[in-house]
Amino acid sequence: MPDVLVLVDHDGERVHKSTYELLAAARRLGDPIAVLAGTPGTSARLRDSLARHGAIGVFVAESSEAGEFLGSAAVNALQLAVRTVSPAAVLVSSTTDGKEVAGRLAARLDTGLLTDVVDLHPSGAVTQVVFGGAYTVRSEVTHGVPVIALRPGSFEPEEHPVQAVEHELVLPPIDPAASARVTARRPAVAGDRPPLTEASVVVSGGRGVGGADSFKVVEELADVLGGAVGASRAAVDAGYYPHQYQVGQTGKSVSPQLYIALGISGAIQHLAGMQTSKTIVAVNKDPDAPVFGVADYGVVGDLFSVAPQLTQEVAARRGVA
């Protein structure tokens, strides 16, 4: 079986769910080998969970400067790992950070890059969402090692315990002149909700929510479903909800099992970030809102009447007070 490299997405303490999805996807093409770039001690904390999800090897590149430069340690580690094992493919998450790493790596390797991939085929071809989600196409890299950025939520994470062999990668020092330095970090206040790109349920609010205070109606529905809260750009720009929760072309891409859009018209730029969701429910008082074109279930009505009833009903069925 050929090797398939998987870039580990993590926060130093915990492997993100999207990495387990990549490991499950990698098994379609060959034997997954994780590539982990982090500060010293990261591998000791994360190695076991990678092995539990099928990584037969872990390339470890630890250095004190790993978190100091945006993506550079990951790009260097992947480049060295590619040189070492000549993999069938390199998989990264199709997130903002993942796409940056993927683009830089593909440029360095002089190879092909496929982003916003939602399915992998054993032949090496992929299914990819393009033009802001307007089309789904089948693509293939015809030159070099394919660098593939997979959208979070496209594959189910699977436990597949194996013994992982660790290989140390000794990276060259990062060139500060060619890298963006991280000067400060302000962790997002996430509360108890799951991260937007990892949640299996996302409830998003749009301009129709009408204000920051009324976003409570969106949060209450998300909470009763154990989901994350998202927002349209109009809602974010109006200051109703923080920017990091924006879903869409210039926000986050999500593919949850269930996406509920409250007071969102369904502009193409919003759909680009959510239309690969498995089931879409839209609540809008305008029966002609474009969001109904992608919705599996649509409710024409006032969100302030519909959403609280839905919250109450779900709470009652789940036995939540």
- Which residues sit at the interface with ligand FAD, rule CB under 6 A? 206-208, 232-235, 246-251, 263-265, 267, 269-270, 273, 283-286, 289, 302-304
| Beta carbon nearer to ligand FAD, 193 or 285 | 285
Task: Identify which of residues 60 and 199 has a Cβ nearer to ligand FAD in the complex.
Answer: 199
Closest distance of CB 69 from ligand FAD, Å: 27
Nearer to ligand FAD by C-beta: 248 or 298?
A: 248
Half-sphere CA count of 278, side-chain side, radius 13 A: 11
Q: Could you tell me the two tokens for 205?
A: 């609010």
- C-beta of 34 vs 274, nearer to ligand FAD: 274
Q: Write the CA distances from 218 to 110, 228, 236, integer angstroms.
A: 45, 10, 14
Query: How many other C-beta atoms are found inside a 10 Å radius of the C-beta of residue 127?
Result: 17
Q: CA 217 from chain center: how many Å?
A: 25
E-strand ranges in 12-171 read 31-38, 57-62, 89-93, 113-120, 126-130, 135-139, 147-150, 165-168
From the CB of 256, what's the least distance to ligand FAD, in Å?
16
Residue 42 vs 284, nearer CB to ligand FAD:
284
End-to-end CA distance of the chain: 52
CB 103 within 8 A of CB 113: yes
Nearest approach, Cβ of 248 to ligand FAD (angstroms)?
Answer: 2
Residue number closest to ligand FAD, CB atom: 248
Shortest Å distance, C-beta 221 to ligand FAD: 13
Shortest reach from residue 273's CB to ligand FAD, in Å:
6
Q: Which residue has the tokens 């502009």?
A: 267
Tell the residue number behind the tokens 């870039």, with chain if given: 7
